[in-house]
Amino acid sequence: MPSSLINATRLADELKLSISFKWLLALYAIIPLCLALQLIDANVWQGYLQSHLPSSPNHFIVFQILFGTPHIIASTLVLTSNSDYLKNYSRKLLLMTFAIAIVFGVGSLFIPYKVFYVLVAAWTVYHVIKQQHGVARSVYRLPNWAFYVLLWLSVSAGLIIYVGIFLKNSLDVQQILWIKQSAGLLCISIILFGLYCHRYVSNFFGQCFLWANIFLVLSSFYLYLQQYYFLAILVPRLVHDATAYTFYVTHDYNRHLIQPSNFLYRAAALCHIPLLIVLPLSSFALAFLLQAYGDGIISCLSEFFFGASINKVITLGLLGYLALIHYYTEAFTWKNDSPYRRYIAFSK
């Protein structure tokens, strides 16, 4: 038996934690929960939640600490705390950092803000929806052309809904109507194409994944129409973040189970911190410190040393940069031939 096959077999035997597709599918339960919450609020609570919730979860620092920032920091920790990963992807990271500096540094001098916003929004929506379809792809096994048609219909609809929510205060009546009509037509197309794709999926489990991803977009559109903007963003955000965390925690558990191989897990072993909670604990703690105190500390330091306060260095600068790097690296770090995947196993 070749040594590579022996090593692969040995590694597979060592994997103690696997990702359950049932668990990944269960995460979509947030869809009916949010729809039920909207119906109860509209019919029983007389719209109390609608009038008191902000237009986006991003406006709640608690939400950012719990759902937004931690999974981006967790992704960064997985990449940077393991020297072999950092060495393997260092060239791509340097090139992307240079590209971000050029686009957002030089480009900001002549590219309008709304164009920047739509570009980043498009990348964000693509990242979120591509992850969910990519994970489910191995379950519903659509032909390549059908997979990409469904993906791009979903991304297009998601982007229009995203823009409709976050730029609603700067849009006129005609633009809002155009957004609703365009998103509506795309959602109808998604349903019709989903019915067409349904025949390609031979197993019930795969069909559930197919329609879960379709309803991810449809539910956001419905909640957007009902002006429950917070819930419209919450649905895909929760599913996406929880799915990503499942992969990060599983990877780190299996990689460091036999022997902690980076400073983070060696320190955790000395403190007798359970392996499963090392990454969540680290990323949530960093998210809290950066979101709650980062800008204030930098502002005070800049005021002390330079006599001028510099605002939003952490929340817009550092975390914005990490988010863009996250969108970029996640496109290739979890592919089948990546070193990450050596520590991932799946189960029903």
131-153 pLDDT, tens digit each: 999 999 888 889 999 999 999 99
Residue 10 has pLDDT above 70, yes or no: no
Residue 295 has pLDDT above 70, yes or no: yes
Exposed/middle/buried for 347, CB within 10 Å: 0-12, 13-18, 19+?
exposed
Say which residue, 327 or 56, is predicted with more confidence: 327
DSSP secondary structure letter of residue 94: H
Q: How far apart are CA 113 and CA 197, in angstroms?
A: 38
Residue 9: which pLDDT band, with cuts at 50, 70 and 90?
very low
Question: How crowded is the C-beta side of 265, counted as CA atoms within 13 Å?
Answer: 21
Q: How far apart are CA 19 and CA 244, in angstroms?
A: 11
Cβ neighbors of 179 (< 8 A, separation 6 or more) are: 160, 161, 163, 164, 171
The pLDDT of 252-257, averaged and rounded, is 91
pLDDT at 6: 39
Residue with tokens 């197993």: 203
Alpha helices by DSSP H, the chain = 3-14, 21-26, 30-43, 48-52, 61-63, 69-80, 83-101, 113-140, 144-166, 173-198, 204-225, 229-256, 263-270, 275-289, 295-306, 319-329
The pLDDT of 275-282, averaged and rounded, is 91
Say which residue, 243 or 169, is predicted with more confidence: 243
Q: How far apart are CA 337 and CA 340, in angstroms?
A: 8
Say which residue, 167 or 39, is predicted with more confidence: 39
Residue 2: which pLDDT band, with cuts at 50, 70 and 90?
very low
- Asked if 299 and 317 touch (Cβ cutoff 8 Å), the reply is no
Residue 92 is encoded by which pair of tokens? 């791509």
Question: Is 347 strand, coil or helix?
Answer: strand
- Asked if 68 and 58 touch (Cβ cutoff 8 Å), the reply is yes
Question: How crowded is the C-beta side of 345, counted as CA atoms within 13 Å?
Answer: 14
Q: How far apart are CA 265 and CA 342, in angstroms?
A: 18
Exposed/middle/buried for 49, CB within 10 Å: 0-12, 13-18, 19+?
middle
Residue 332 is encoded by which pair of tokens? 């290739």
The pLDDT of 186-206, averaged and rounded, is 93
Residue 316 is encoded by which pair of tokens? 């817009």
Residue 277 has pLDDT above 60, yes or no: yes
Instruction: Report the 10 Å Cβ neighbour count for 79.
Output: 19
Residue 174: which pLDDT band, with cuts at 50, 70 and 90?
very high
Q: How far apart are CA 4 and CA 10, in angstroms?
A: 10
The domain segmentation of the chain, as residue ranges, is 16-347
Question: Is 124 strand, coil or helix?
Answer: helix
pLDDT at 1: 38
Residue 234 has pLDDT above 70, yes or no: yes
Q: How far apart are CA 31 and CA 140, in angstroms?
A: 20
pLDDT at 54: 72
pLDDT at 141: 87
Residue 166 has pLDDT above 90, yes or no: no
Residue 57 has pLDDT above 70, yes or no: no
DSSP secondary structure letter of residue 189: H
pLDDT in tens, 100-126: 888 877 777 777 877 877 888 888 899
DSSP secondary structure letter of residue 199: T
- Asked if 284 and 63 touch (Cβ cutoff 8 Å), the reply is no
DSSP secondary structure letter of residue 338: S
